[in-house]
Structure 1
Amino acid sequence: MSSISANELSGNYQYSWQAVPGDNPKITGTPDSNLLSTTEGYEVIDFINGFLKNNINPPVSVQTRLPTAHKIEKMIHLAKGKVADHKRSTYVTWIVNNWSNH
């Protein structure tokens, strides 16, 4: 399965493509932070790709990859008001627990 890229995001949300001071857009995941910034595009892409790889079973097909990625993107934004600690792991748990509802 290939990773999604910036031009494959849904287009329904606005993202910053410049890192905030002290943040490196080339480093994502655990080395960067345990937190997810839902306004930084490269962090959202990294989260979606990680979720697709680690939490979708069976793995998505070529035909379902993009719709599934868009669902994850939508759920990230639905979870924003419900994930108080902004931790990636909390977002994963919320999305997994609410997957069938959206």
Structure 2
Amino acid sequence: MGVLNQNDLQFEYSWSILESNDPQVIEPYDSTLLNRNEGYDVITFLNHFARTYSLSKENALKAERFIKYYMPQDINKRIDASRWLIDNLESHELEERHTTSAQG
């Protein structure tokens, strides 16, 4: 079981299953494209990322926000998205806090 389930996600996604984005079919994982609008792609990516880097549920949800708000649109492979998150999660921490406190 993953760190996150469908009900945990913070944004609305499409939940259609196509063979091309079915997690059971995708190989190799790192070279596949991440469809940021497809819930199954996002949750599979976030759970894999969380398992790989031993992230808590809170940090996996933070990664979801970073994908939504900060990740450049030209990053679309899972491996590149993982690298970007690793490089940027800590450096955007103050900006994330400011955005969250301004909304609350």
The TM-score normalised by the length of structure 2 is 0.71
Partner of 2:78: 88
Partner of 1:27: 24
Structure 1 residue 98 and structure 2 residue 95: aligned?
no
Query: 1:9-46 CA distances to partner (integer Å, 9 max, x unpaired)?
Result: 12xx22000135x5353536535761100000011001
3-state secondary structure, aligned to 2:40: helix
Matches within 5 A, 1:1-102: 2-10=2-10, 13-20=11-18, 22-27=19-24, 29-30=26-27, 34-55=32-53, 59-60=54-55, 65-77=56-68, 78-79=70-71, 82-100=72-90, 101-102=92-93
Residues 29 and 23 from structure 1, CA distance in 2 versus in 1: closer, same or farther, beyond 3 angstroms?
A: closer
Give the aligned CA root-mean-square deviation in angstroms. 2.4
Structure 2 Cα separation of the partners of residues 15 and 27 of structure 1: 19
Residues 83 and 94 from structure 1, CA distance in 2 versus in 1: closer, same or farther, beyond 3 angstroms?
A: farther
- Aligned amino acid, residue 27 of structure 1: Q
Structure 1 Cα separation of the partners of residues 89 and 26 of structure 2: 22
Gaps of 5+ in 2: 94-104
Gaps of 5+ in 1: none
Structure 2 Cα separation of the partners of residues 68 and 30 of structure 1: 26
